[in-house]
Amino acid sequence: MSNEWWRGATVYQIYPRSLADANGDGVGDLAGVTQALPYVAELGVDGIWLSPFFTSPMRDFGYDVADHLGVDPLFGTLADFDALLLEAHRLGLKVIVDQVWSHTAAEHPWFQESRSSRTNAKADWYVWADPKPDGTPPNNWQSWMGGPAWRWDSRRQQYYLHNFLPQMPDLNFHCTAVQDAVLEVARFWLDRGVDGFRLDTANLYFHSRALQDNPPLQEGQRGASPVLMQRHVHNADQPEAPVFFERLRALMDSYGARMAVAEIGGADPLPTMMEYTQGAQRLHTAYSFAFLGDRPDAKHVLRYLAPWSEETGGKAWPSWAFSNHDAPRVASRWGGGAVGAFAFGGSGDAVLATAGATPVTWLALLLALRGTVFLYQGEELGLPQSTVAFEDLRDPYGLANWPLNPGRDGCRTPFPWRADAPQLGFSSTARTWLPMDAAHAPLAVDQQLADPASTLNATRQLLALRRKHAALRLGDLEVLVAEGDVLVIRRRYVDAVSDELLLAFNLGSNSATVPWPLAGGSCGAPLFTHAGAALERDQLQLPAGAALYLPLV
């Protein structure tokens, strides 16, 4: 694969806690991931993204890092990681690791030194500020985990910034020594052979030095919690960020075929995504939240895709996902019962469901998009969101917001491998870190492998088509029809040999008939069809939830 292997690639997101438990303690681990890699490779994906496995007190399940260079004993050892990396590369899989750089755990040695005095060598490595004269925090910034984004530290007699949990202090990227230290972390993992990084909350690296209050959102735009009631113009999206990303890109380019994908949240993340990924000196791509909320109709899909098209300048490259470890599973969110939503930058509102559409509908749409695709573990099985009882909740966001919002545990329950095995084959223990979902048993891997019509086998077929057709991986995208729930697009790649496909979707619950949208031309036999989609007498017949891939000749 070329240095730009990531363009059009499909990357399988692994949440290590929940994929496979090799040592029988009820928690997934790196050895379990290694055992699962042949299954992942057989799906037909190009690589994996590993959510954090670093040393951590696990208040936020690894997104609170206490040692960026160590593996938490819960997941194994550095030797286990090296074995995983070796096996992944043997199977032809790239490996992207999560990097959490906007903040650390309070236990991190950097923070322990920084909080010890106002004059130590790391005194300005975190965001410290004096209180207002009345003792209150320096400004009105709010935490994504609830409450003010400031915590008083009695040792320094100052507040420190935490955009998430109070035990997750934010690093001060205005300090050059912090940038240098973070780049050394990157170098450590690049030297071990990783193929790239997913950058957690990348637009929170820098804050406004003046610490101004964030302005309120207009009425009608405000969410249900304080953090969703203000515009994050001073604690995010600062102009210094691209300069740091250029430093990171230069380091990564010195290692050859590497990539970085930035998580960029917020109410209007698109301008920041474009800015951070513009040209060949900054980040390779940005992870979009566009499809992690309410089910879009065709016009919304068009609105999300349009800014990234070749016709609008297209120098930045998008990434797309329909599910991840922070959002309710798409099978329920768009095709089952309504559930609560959480994502950094998301609305937190209840989301919609659609009768007629199935998980295959959404997979066919996701794998038809122009950009890099991220597929969350279990999405290929069509797993629905799990309901986790309050006494079993582990997510701090869910515990703080229950019952209005049960948090993120419902998309993190352990993976079902074998329907008749104890703990569905995930673990040999009697109790797993989150309960196994009995509703996932009929959707277990062994059941779906034996069923030619399963979601798993449809995913394999769709991934094989994406790998085979340059039009799907790299081609232009043109929207031909976007009316109601009907979306028809053309993907076209022109090189020595032209590759062109027409892809049609009915995202709704009512059947639709669409006249052939192209003047002239013809098509070959369908490459993929779902829910009875067909081309009949120059008309696209699209029952509810239909998907159709046609080669154009």
Alpha-carbon distance of 485 to 482, in angstroms, equals: 7
What string of DSSP letters covers 310-347?
GGGT--S-EEEES-BTTB--HHHHTTSS------TT--
Tell me the torsion sign for CA atoms 296, 260, 101, 17. Answer: positive
Sequence-ordered list of residues with C-beta below 8 angstroms from that of 486, at least 6 positions apart, any chain: 298, 504, 505, 506, 507, 508, 512, 514, 542
ω before 131 within 30° of 0 (cis)?
Answer: no
Taking the CB of residue 508, how many other CB atoms lie within 10 A of it? 22
In single-letter form, the type of residue at position 331 comes to A
Residue pair 364/549 in contact by the 8 Å Cβ criterion: yes
Which entry of 64, 170, 200, 380 is annotated as an active-site residue? 200
Alpha-carbon distance of 543 to 511, in angstroms, equals: 4
Alpha-carbon distance of 162 to 111, in angstroms, equals: 12
Please give the angle made by the CA atoms of 379, 384 and 389, to the nearest 5 degrees: 130
- Report helix angle 176-192 to 241-253, nearest 10: 30
Which entry of 72, 263, 379, 500 is annotated as an active-site residue? 263
Kindly report the length of the chain.
553
113 is catalytic: no
Question: SS3 of 465, please?
Answer: helix
Tokens of 503: 């892809």
420 is catalytic: no
Residues with a known catalytic role: 200, 263
